[in-house]
Amino acid sequence: MHSADLISLAPFIALILGGLTILALGVWPKPVSTQILTMVAIAFLFLGAVATLFWDAPHEVNGMLVTDNLSRLFTQFFMFGTAVIIILSSGYTPIKNEVREEYLSLLLFSTLGMTLLIASQNLMMAFVGLEILTVPLFALVAWQPARNGAIEGGVKYALLAGFAAAFFLYGTALAYTSAGTIDLTVLGAVTTNAELLAISVTLILVGVGFKLALIPFHMWAPDIYQAAPAPITALFASIAKVAALVFLIRLLCMQLQHIWEALLPLIWMLAVASMVAGNLLALHQQNLKRLLAYSSIAHLGYIFVALAAGNSLGRDAAIYYALTYALMNLGTFAVITAFTRHDQDRQDLEEFRGLGRRHPVLGIAMGVCLLALAGVPPTAGFIAKLIAFGAAIEAGHTILAIIAVLNTALAFYYYLRILNVFYDTNETNLGAAQYSQGTLIIVVTITLLIIAFGIFPEWVLGLI
């Protein structure tokens, strides 16, 4: 092993060490305060993020991992996202005393899975990453099992994740059958047996599609979004999905260009189905977390519009959209976390009535995040849609672009509906929210980032 390899592996090692250190602190003879545990977790995340700066990209480690600009950008972003979720969790009253060593180490291991997945150069590595990402989530969904629906949510997710893993493995096996290799670069160069390879990639797409909750693999999403504690929902809705998505971008847009053409009709169908069904299902949804689950489905549809373009602009658009999508969802769920009641999340939209007036900062932040999700300039959400639809038009998919913009217009209805409730003159009788300083800082930071990335999109586009 060369020293360059070691530098490349440093962020992953930092995450593993972090998870283990926190577990070790848990069995330390003297009781360690929650605050210290949190600080240690964030410190290791920061170390990992800093370690990526020393990568001399692109570098390949043993044909397993590749450390390029894409994996650097998203590794840093996942570290940031996990830190956000840790801070949100520690200020989140329903699980106040349970954000301890298990919770934090599970989060770190899950992040490790994400970073491995997006950096994987090999289908087997990707599978390992996907599983490391998923397994901790079973437990995190069902955190505080006495909650209503917690166990149900955890089991549901575990079962469907099992199915997804099976599809993924089967696809990997077929890829090996067709080409004799599962290295992505080598697979990209193979031209024989194209049909079999296309089928195998389709199966992988199904496996990843479960994670992304694309229509028709979306059934778990609303239930899990509702069942999980808000910070964990934030994890699901943002970085966990984006990890799978970035892997898909790497697979389809960067490595297997020739397969992409064979899969084009399928990507089209997934894009249209996800946009249309996601938006229609969200239209009259009364439960805010479920509504956001459906809106996420629709957003994945827009990202697939960009993927379907298959040109370099489409790839950039998908990457930019993935990042901003995660950011916007993090922001929205951060606000939901801040508004939690002392024993459980507010679920129905009614329970948020008038809160935007009572808490102006959170209200404005929610407004910015939702308008960004809707695609109003000058937020990052607008630029994301602009590039995504632009890529589709450049590729000649005008019909797809028109379907996408009509869906965008439709989606305005439910985003505005949420804001109307937030700014209603009546107020819910459930009382005001009590949130920690940390949560507030997170909310403000993310809101500013969303606007900044909208005005200066080159900050992100330049990194790709």
Partner 1 sequence: MNWLLSVLIFLPLSGALMIALTGHNKTIYVRWAALTISTVELSIALGLWWIASPDSDGYLYIVQVPWIPTMGIQFLLGMDGLSLLLVLLTTLLVPIAILVSWRSISHNWSTFAALLLATQAGIIGVFLALDLILFYVFWELMLVPMYFLIGLWGHERRLYAAYKFFLFTVTGSLLMLVAILGLYFIHGEQTGIYTFDYFKLLHTNLSGDTGMWLMLGFFVAFAVKIPLFPIHSWLPDAHTEAPTAGSIILAGLLLKTGAYGLLRFCLPLFPEASIDFAPFAMALGVVGILYGALLALVQEDIKRLIAYSSISHLGFVVFGIYTWNQEGLHGAMLLMLAHGATTSAMFATIGMLEERTGTRLLSCMGGLLSPMPRLGAMLLLFTLSAMGMPGLANFVGEFLVLAGVYQVSASLAIAGAMGIVASAIYLLWMYQRAMLGEQSSDRIWVDLDRREMLILTLLAVTVLWLGLYPAPFLDYLQVPATGIIESNPAIMTGTEDAFR
Name the H helices within 180-286.
Answer: 184-189, 194-212, 220-227, 230-235, 241-249, 257-283
Q: What is the largest CA-CA distance in the chain?
A: 66
**How many residues at the interface with partner 1, by CB under 8 A?**
30
Verify binding: residue 416, partner 1, rule CB under 8 A.
yes
Instruction: Name which of residues 342 to 371 contact partner 1 (CB under 8 A).
Output: 357, 360, 364, 371
If the CB atoms of residues 16 and 410 are measured against partner 1, the closer one turns out to be 410
SS3 of residue 120 by DSSP: strand
Residues contacting 150, CB < 8 A, separation 6+: 141, 142, 143, 144, 227
Verify binding: residue 390, partner 1, rule CB under 8 A.
yes
Nearest to 274 by CA among 407, 164, 161: 407
Residues 52, 445, 357, CA angle at the centre, nearest 5°?
160
Output the smallest distance, CB 140 to partner 1, in A. Answer: 36
Q: How far apart are CA 372 and CA 409, in angstroms?
A: 13
Region near partner 1 per CB under 8 A, out of 186-194, 218-226, 331-339, 417-425: 417-425
Per-residue tokens: 318: 């998908």
Verify binding: residue 412, partner 1, rule CB under 8 A.
yes
Output the smallest distance, CB 302 to partner 1, in A. Answer: 12
Output the smallest distance, CB 120 to partner 1, in A. Answer: 29
Verify binding: residue 283, partner 1, rule CB under 8 A.
no
Verify binding: residue 425, partner 1, rule CB under 8 A.
yes
Pick the binder of partner 1 from 62, 148, 177, 420 (CB under 8 A): 420
Output the smallest distance, CB 67 to partner 1, in A. Answer: 25
Verify binding: residue 402, partner 1, rule CB under 8 A.
yes
Region near partner 1 per CB under 8 A, out of 159-167, 190-198, 257-265, 456-464: 456-464
SS3 of residue 28 by DSSP: coil
Q: How far apart are CA 299 and CA 321, in angstroms?
A: 9
Output Rg (C-alpha) for the chain, integer angstroms: 21
Verify binding: residue 394, partner 1, rule CB under 8 A.
yes
DSSP per residue over 381-446, as a string? HHHHHHHHHHHHHHTT-HHHHHHHHHHHHHHHHHHHHHHHHHT-SS--TT------HHHHHHHHHH
Verify binding: residue 386, partner 1, rule CB under 8 A.
yes
Print the binding letters for residues 227-266 with partner 1: x by CB under 8 A, - otherwise: ----------------------------------------
Output the smallest distance, CB 331 to partner 1, in A. Answer: 17
Partners of 183 in beta bridges? 122
Verify binding: residue 423, partner 1, rule CB under 8 A.
yes
Verify binding: residue 438, partner 1, rule CB under 8 A.
no
Residues contacting 406, CB < 8 A, separation 6+: none
Pick the binder of partner 1 from 44, 74, 382, 422 (CB under 8 A): 382
Verify binding: residue 398, partner 1, rule CB under 8 A.
yes
Region near partner 1 per CB under 8 A, out of 14-22, 226-234, 238-246, 410-418: 410-418
Burial label, 45 (beta-carbon count in 10 A; 0-12, 13-18, 19+):
buried
Per-residue tokens: 141: 């969904």
Residues that bind partner 1 (CB under 8 A): 357, 360, 364, 371, 376-378, 382, 386-387, 389-390, 393-394, 398, 401-402, 405-406, 408-409, 412-413, 416, 420, 423, 425, 457-458, 461
